[in-house]
Amino acid sequence: MTNLIQIKRSSTTATPPALAAGELAWSEVSKTLFIGESGNLVTPAAGAGVFAKKTDALSLTGDATGSGTLSGGVAVALANSGVTAGTYSSVSVDAKGRVTGGTNPGYLLANQNITFSGDATGTGATAVALTLANSGVTSGTYNNAATSITPFSVDAKGRITSTGAAVTITPAWSSVTGKPTTLSGYGITDALTLAGGTLTGALTLAADPTNALHAATKQYVDNAITGLDFKSSVRAATTANITLSGTQSIDGVVLVVGDRVLVKDQTTGSQNGLYVVSASSWARSADADNSPAGEITSGLYVFVEEGSTNADTGWVLATNMPITLGTTSLTFQQFNGLAQLTAGSGLTKSGNTLSLTTTGVSAGTYSSVTVDTTGRVTAATNPGYITTNQNITVSGDVTGSGTTTLALTLAASGVTAGTYNNSATAVSPITVDAKGRVTAIGTAVTLTPAWSSISSKPTTISGFGITDALSSSATIDGGSF
C-alpha cells in the first residue's frame, strides 16, 4: 500500500488555536503551515512568503554537492574520498564510514581451508599438519654391515629415492695405504726370510741347474744316479713311419732345415734315432751318430719341445746293449710327460704354461663384480656408489649426516614458529613457497568484508533487528482542528 503520513489539518480555520511544541498543522484556509513552540505559541512556518519558490535555485556543498531547483530537482553527488574506484581486500574507513584507501595484499579474505600438495601434503585452516610425500624408497635400515654396503640414490632435495642390492666391500689392493714391507709386518709366520731358515716341507724348483752355483733338483740328481744319457732336445717327434728326407710336417709341426727330430716309429726299427732335417736325405744328429763310439747307449734321453701329441714329453731308449747303430732295432719309450697335463675349465695351455682364460673383463678396479664358480670375474661395473663405509652428509631442504643411520632435519623456512590466524576478526597473510612450506607471516589485518560481499542480507527492519525506526508501511495521523 502507499505510505501516508498526515499532520493536523483544517479546511475551515485559518490558524490553529493551540499546538504542542514541535507539532505541525496545515490550514487549507490560509495556505499556511504552522508549528507549535514552547509557551503555547503557534508560529507560521511555511506558506506564501515562507516556502521558497519552485523555480528558486538550490545549491548543496560539503560531503555531498549538487545544484538545481525545487521544481527541476537537485542531483546530489558524494565528494571523492581519495581512493581509486576498484575492488580491495583491505580498506581504510573514516569516521563517516567512507572508504579512503584500499589495498590487495594477496592473503585470504576469510578463514578459508588451505590444502597443501607436492613434496608435503596436508589441509586445514589455522593449523595444518603437513606430511612429507613418500620418496619411493622402502623404509628400513641400510649400510649397517661391516662387509657390505648398499648403494642409494638421492634426489636434488636430499631425499633418498631408491636403494640397490648390497655389494660386498672389496677394496682394490692399490687403494690400501700404509702397507708393511716385511713378513713380520704382515704377521706372516710360515715363510722364510732372506736371512735363511729351515723348510718343514718340500721345495720345488722350476728347472734343472745350468750354473755351477744353481741348486740341484731331485730329478737332476736321480738322472745322474740312474745313468740317463741326456741329449739336446728335439723340436718334434714322429707318430708314424716317415720318409727320411726333405722338409715336412711331423705331429703338426712344420719343420725347416736344421731342426732336430726324434724318429721312433719307423717300420724298420734300425732307422729310429735322432736326425737333423735336410732338404735332401736326413742324417743322424752329431750327438747320436755314434761318432765317436758310445753316443748311442741304453738310457739315451731326449726331450720333445713341440707337437700336437708329443709336445713337452721325454723319451728314453729302451733297447738293451750292445747296440749296433743301423743294425739294431731301436725302441724309444716315453719317460715323462709334461704334455699330459691338460687345461681344465677356465684355463688355457701353451707348452708348459697354464694361463687363466680371459673372461672379457678389462683389467681395472671395480666396485661391483660377478664371479663364476672358479672365482674368476666375468662381469664388472662401477655403478657410482660408495665402496667403503664413508660418512654421508645431506644438505638442502633437509640436513643431516651419518654413516649407516642418518637423522634428517627439515631446513628452517624462515618463519617464526607459532600459531596464526586463530582469530575470528583478523587474518595474517601467509607466504608459501613452491614446496608447500610457509616462509613468512605478515602483520594481522582486521577483517573488513565489503558490504557488497555479504550474501543473504535481510530487506526489512525486523530482519535486521532494528527497533528504533518506523516501518515504511505504517500510517501516521496527526488528527484535525
Over residues 277-286, the pLDDT tens digits come to 999 999 999 9
d(CA 400, CA 247): 81
Q: Rg of the chain over CA atoms, in angstroms? A: 61
Asked if residue 354 and residue 268 are part of one domain, the reply reads no
Asked if residue 377 and residue 303 are part of one domain, the reply reads no
d(CA 120, CA 123): 10
What are the angstrom distances between the C-alpha of 212 and each of 208, 215, 217, 262, 375?
A: 11, 8, 13, 29, 42
Domains of the chain: total: 2
From the number of C-beta atoms within 10 Å of its C-beta (0-12, 13-18, 19+), residue 475 rates as: exposed
Asked if residue 360 and residue 316 are part of one domain, the reply reads no
pTM of the model: 0.30
d(CA 353, CA 339): 10
Over residues 258-310, the pLDDT tens digits come to 999 999 999 999 999 999 999 999 999 999 999 988 889 999 999 999 999 99
Helical (H) or strand (E) element with 446: strand 445-446
Q: Does some domain include residue 292?
A: yes
Asked if residue 335 and residue 360 are part of one domain, the reply reads no
Q: Does some domain include residue 78?
A: no
SS3 (DSSP) at 350: strand
d(CA 370, CA 359): 11
Over residues 24-55, the pLDDT tens digits come to 888 888 888 888 899 889 888 777 645 666 66
Could you tell me which residue, 329 or 164, shows the higher pLDDT?
Answer: 329
Asked if residue 301 and residue 356 are part of one domain, the reply reads no
How many H-runs (helices) and E-runs (strands) does the chain carry? 3, 40
Asked if residue 304 and residue 357 are part of one domain, the reply reads no
Q: Does some domain include residue 397?
A: no
d(CA 263, CA 332): 9
Strand partners, 445: 427
d(CA 294, CA 274): 15
Contact 32, 7 (CB under 8 A): no
For residue 198, pLDDT beyond 90: no
> What is residue 361's predicted lDDT score, i.e. its pLDDT?
80
Asked if residue 326 and residue 254 are part of one domain, the reply reads yes
Domain that holds residue 373: 347-381
> What is residue 315's predicted lDDT score, i.e. its pLDDT?
95
Asked if residue 360 and residue 315 are part of one domain, the reply reads no
Asked if residue 354 and residue 279 are part of one domain, the reply reads no
Q: Does some domain include residue 254?
A: yes
Contact 141, 405 (CB under 8 A): yes
Over residues 106-152, the pLDDT tens digits come to 665 556 677 878 787 878 766 778 788 887 778 888 777 767 777 87
Provide the strand spans (E) within 21-60: 24-27, 32-37, 41-47, 57-60
Asked if residue 333 and residue 289 are part of one domain, the reply reads yes
Asked if residue 351 and residue 306 are part of one domain, the reply reads no
Q: Does some domain include residue 355?
A: yes
Residues of the chain with pLDDT > 70, as a percent, come to 80
Asked if residue 332 and residue 270 are part of one domain, the reply reads yes
